[in-house]
Amino acid sequence: MSDYSNLDSDRSLDGSDTMDTESRTFPDTERRRLLAAMGSAGAVVLAGCLDDENDTDEDGDGEEISHVVAFLKQDERIEVDAPEDEALLYPALDAGVDIPYSCEAGRCGECTAKYDGDANEVVSHDGNEYLDDDQIEDGWVLTCVAYPSDDSELEVVHPDDM
Ligand code: FES
């Protein structure tokens, strides 16, 4: 049975080669076959992430459900593919949205955004300790603990700045 535990580069930080003799005898054909299989799996995952129809789980296969959330800040508009099981802050940051944050736990209120309507229509909060129910109904979203439930457009702004 083959040992695939040494597929990653085994170079140390100083650039020296730390592979042992047994790793050097790893058959190239098996290594290429495994890397090709891993590449195919990565392509399938990537295709799923890029699929515009990914906002539904029509076949109930448990694949990730996501929504398109547009973040507005000053003259910039960035659309983000936001998975339902991830707080909005993180795909926004990954996409380059300049959104302030600090505690990442729903307490400090740094990461707010504003929806033009009742925020309960487009997100569900889990762990919010900053916004009250009226603020959420007025459209305020605490992005570090807000999970998207529909497509939406959010302005990156804080209640104190309004
Ligand atoms: S980062 Fe503190 S409440 Fe979101």
Q: What is the tens place of the pLDDT at every residue in 99-124?
A: 999 999 999 999 999 999 999 999 99
Q: What angle do CA 33, 36, 37 make, to 5 degrees?
A: 85
**Which domains does the chain carry?**
1-50 (no CATH), 66-161 (3.10.20.30)
Q: Is 108 exposed, middle or buried (0-12, 13-18, 19+ CB in 10 A)?
A: middle
pLDDT of residue 116: 98
Atom 3 of ligand 1, residue of closest alpha carbon: 106
Q: Give the mean model confidence (pLDDT) for residues 7-12.
A: 40
- pTM of the prediction? 0.64
Query: Given pLDDT bands bounded at 50, 70 and 90, which one contains residue 159?
Result: very high
pLDDT on residue 78? 98
Instruction: Please choose from 90, 93, 97, 102 the residue to mutate so as to test ligand 1's pocket, defined by most ligand atoms within 8 A of CB.
Output: 102
- Residue 61 confidence (pLDDT): 67
**Sequence-ordered list of residues with C-beta below 8 angstroms from that of 125, at least 6 positions apart, any chain:** 106, 131, 136, 141, 142, 145, 146, 147
Site to probe by mutation for ligand 1, drawn from 86, 93, 104 as the one with most ligand atoms within 8 Å of Cβ, is 104
Name all residues whose Cβ lies below 6 A of ligand 1.
101-104, 106-111, 130, 142, 144
